[in-house]
Amino acid sequence: MTNPFLEPLAANGLPSFDRIELPHYREAFEQGISQQEQEIAAIRDNPGEANFHNTIEALERSGALLRRVGDVFWNLTSSDTNDELQALELEMSATMAAHSSRIYADAALFTRVQAVMDSNVTFMGEQQQLLEETHQRFVRAGAQLADNERQRVSDITERLANLTTQFGQNVLKDTNDFQLVLDQGDDVSGLPEFVLGAAKAEAEQRGQPGKYVFTISRSSITPFLQYADNRELREKMYKAYTNCGVASVDNRPIIQEIVKLRTERADLMGYASHADFMLDDRMAKTPGAVRNLLDQIWEPAQKKVAQEAEDLQALIQEDGGNFNLEAWDWWYYTEKLRKARFDLDEEDVKPYFPLNQVRDGAFNVAKRLYGITFTPCDVPVYHPDVEAYEVNDSDGSKVGLFLFDFFMRPSKRGGAWMSAFREQSALDGHETPVIVNCCNFPKSDPCLLGMDEVRTLFHEFGHGLHGLLSKVTYRSLSGTSVKQDFVELPSQIMEHWAMEPEVLKDYARHHETGETIPVDIVEKLRASDTFNQGFATTEYVAACYLDLAWHEPGGDDAGDIGKFERKAMEDIHKIRTVDPRYWSSYFLHIFSGDHYSAGYYVYIWAEVLDADGYDAFKEKGIFDEATANAFRKHVLEVGGSVEPMEAYQNFRGREPSVEPLLKKRGLA
């Protein structure tokens, strides 16, 4: 059987999932690497003078086969992996890091890139941006360093790729390993039907029919902590969660090595710290700018969370509990308080949010804003749970393909994300994007979503639109290929529509009766928006500070990791009973890859933008055509081809302000 990766993609860009077999990957990676090496050699050894076309654009074009195999491989190692793929992933992450190091360490190649940079030709718009980004990639890989230093940087990068992959696999292992098994007769008091149903399904999947299995994946542990009356079991689950990465595996030596290597690399590159190095390539530019924003939010959040802790303690006393509030009590008493204050139970809300309707609700928002439509289509996908849609513009032209992969399974890593099987580009004919949204909703029938899950769906869908509506020439500037602290703007702004009464009316209907969600529930949902925001802001911002602590000077000689974490939290006077959203040993964002390191803050940075940006819609009407067109044109379509602050100002007409965010979170 021929290797499908060696053939061109179908016109719609969809990989031939039905024909891909394990050995195809290795063969395609090997051929892809040697093909790109030849392409690179041709660029480097071109006897003609270096110019944009024969150097920058030629580089952009190179590696087509590697992209074809990589786009499938790196997606499936996240969303549908197995032992063989995992083994190959470890090997390929090192191989690919080495390959890319060789390209960026090629002095003769860099000389040509530099020559284009130094030429007197003035490039416009996208070309200028591609030139700068390409040049920057070389510089950040150490192209301007002496040979021995550059070799060291490339060794470090390669070693880091290996360590971060191992870190992520360890977290997956601990997440899958831990299970709390309860029998029919055991204490499940407080746990509602939908939670028990999911736990039953999980037990069945794990070969323990008739029992309940709870895991430390977010969608299992969160409802458990919210509802389980049994305090000891809550504590047990919570501690299992915070022990992730140090239970059956040990991520601590990995963290220490990662941080040391990152520090060394930053030093070689001439930066004061890894944080300085990473931020130089983001919208925020410096660690100081990030701390400045975090501090502005941290102070009001600490006031709010102290009040919330008092409220919960009072509730414990009222409840006849004779103990002090602990970390594993927050969700439980918060849920009780939510019920008392808003008489709103997740369980009362969920029947109005069957998955299919929420999905269609998101599609409808996209249609009303941008005129695009989503039509189910029958194409081969990589897992039977995956749904495929053809996306068309209002004039009928093809926008791309969109895949939804909703359900959790052991072969999928935790969390939710958007990714692409092909990114949009127009360099060699218009290539439409193939976008996927992955979630981890428990598979049940009917699948009813909680509010967080509804927001998650809209959030990832927002990233999806960013990828789908991209309209650039160069793939590397396409869709979500923007600065890290800008990428969450399109996703977070989508979450606002999910909660608008006008939108809820459309999609939030009872799964049995078809009744529209009652107005009083909607009002309560909106009133409860600022509820518990002291806690939510604290756990998130504390994790941002922890991330910075690791990557600013001092992180590299942390010594004992627990001690280091405690010190970092003392420095910001964190309230004892709220932990950072992630402790280091399972902080995937910052240790399972470089991308989000010194960058966990990006969500709140983008939230400043989305809160301020959504105000533009509210001022004119949430489906205002001119505002939607401006957002599509200046933000969604341009990807990374325009500097983020410039793109934002083109849309908004001014710089963003932090006030709408504080107001939205009830911290003003």
Active site residues: 460
Task: Rank residues 113 and 469 by Cβ distance to Zn ion and give the closer one.
Answer: 469
∠ CA(250), CA(251), CA(253), 5° rounding?
Answer: 95
The answer to whether residue 456 forms part of the interface with Zn ion (CB under 5 A) is no
CA atoms of 250 and 129, how far apart (whole Å):
42
Q: How many CB atoms lie within 10 A of CB 426?
A: 16
- Among the listed ranges 19-27, 103-111, 472-480, 490-498, the one in contact with Zn ion (CB under 5 A) is 490-498
Q: Report how far Cα 331 is from the mean position of its chain's Cα atoms.
A: 23
Q: Is 304 helix (H, G, I), strand (E, B) or coil?
A: helix
How far, in Å, CA of 199 to CA of 210, rounded?
Answer: 10
* 188/23 Cα distance (integer angstroms): 46
- Nearer to Zn ion by Cβ, of 458 and 586: the residue is 458
Min dist CB 490 to Zn ion, Å, is 9
Nearest to 548 by CA among 292, 301, 377, 334: 292
Query: Contact region for Zn ion (CB under 5 A) — 7-15, 206-214, 480-488, 569-577?
Result: 480-488
Runs of H (alpha helix) within 80-212: 83-104, 107-118, 125-140, 147-177, 193-205
Bridge partners of residue 182, in order along the sequence: 212
The string of DSSP letters for 437-481 reads EEEEE---SS-BPPHHHHHHHHHHHHHHHHHHS---S-GGGSTT-
| Shortest spacing between CB 632 and Zn ion, in angstroms | 19
Compare residues 329 and 495 and give the one whose CB is closer to Zn ion.
495
Q: Enter the DSSP assignment of 354.
A: B
Q: What six digits make up the tokens of 139?
A: 């510089």
Q: CA–CA separation, 141 vs 136, rounded Å?
A: 8
Q: Are 123 and 641 in contact (CB under 8 A)?
A: no
Tell me how far apart the alpha carbons of residues 463 and 427 are, in angstroms, rounded to a whole number: 23
Cα–Cα dist 349/517, whole Å: 8
Q: Shortest gap between Cβ of 436 and Zn ion (angstroms)?
A: 14
Instruction: Give the nearer residue to Zn ion in terms of CB position, either 13 or 462.
Output: 462
Decide whether 278 or 493 has the Cβ nearer to Zn ion. Answer: 493
Q: How far is the CB of 415 from Zn ion (least distance, A)?
A: 10
The least distance separating Zn ion from the CB of residue 459, rounded to whole angstroms, comes to 6
Nearest-approach distance from CB 86 to Zn ion, in angstroms: 25
- C-alpha distances in Å from residue 510, one per residue of 209, 338, 383, 449, 514: 30, 22, 29, 12, 5
Count residues near Zn ion (CB under 5 A): 2
For residues 544 and 561, what is the distance between their CA atoms, to the nearest angstrom? Answer: 17
Residue 293 vs 602, nearer CB to Zn ion: 602
Q: Mark the segment that binds Zn ion (CB under 5 A) among 200-208, 281-289, 488-496, 606-614.
A: 488-496
DSSP type of residue 399: E
Q: CA 206, CA 106: separation in Å to the nearest integer?
A: 50
What CA–CA distance (Å, rounded) separates 653 from 666?
26
Q: What's the Cα-to-Cα distance from 661 to each of 487, 606, 610, rounded to whole Å?
A: 17, 10, 8
Contact criterion met (CB below 8 Å) for 179 and 213: yes
Nearer to Zn ion, 169 or 491 (CB): 491
In the complex, the smallest distance separating the C-beta of residue 463 from Zn ion, rounded to whole angstroms, is 6
Residue range at the interface with Zn ion (CB under 5 A); choices 109-117, 270-278, 489-497, 511-519? 489-497
Query: Cβ distance 115 to 50 under 8 Å?
Result: yes
Q: Which of 491, 538, 584, 585 binds Zn ion (CB under 5 A)?
A: 491
Rank residues 217 and 480 by Cβ distance to Zn ion and give the closer one. 480
Residue closer to Zn ion, measured from CB, 351 or 479: 479
Dihedral angle of Cα 222, 225, 227, 232, to the nearest 10 degrees = 160
Residue 218 beta carbon to Zn ion: minimum distance, rounded to whole angstroms: 15
Rounded to 5 degrees, φ, ψ at 419 are: -150, 175
Residue nearest to Zn ion (CB): 491
Min separation Cβ 406 and Zn ion, Å: 16
Per-residue interface string for the shown chain with Zn ion, residues 146-185, x marking contact by CB under 5 A: ----------------------------------------
The rounded distance, in Å, linking the Cα atoms of 462 and 491 is 4
Exposed e or buried b for every residue in 175-188, given b needs 16+ CB within 10 A? beebbbebeeeeeb
Instruction: For tokens 């990428």, name the residue.
Output: 487
Q: Tell me whether residue 312 or residue 489 sits nearer to Zn ion (CB atom).
A: 489
Q: Least separation, in Å, of the C-beta of 614 and Zn ion?
A: 16
Tell me which residues touch Zn ion (CB under 5 A).
488, 491
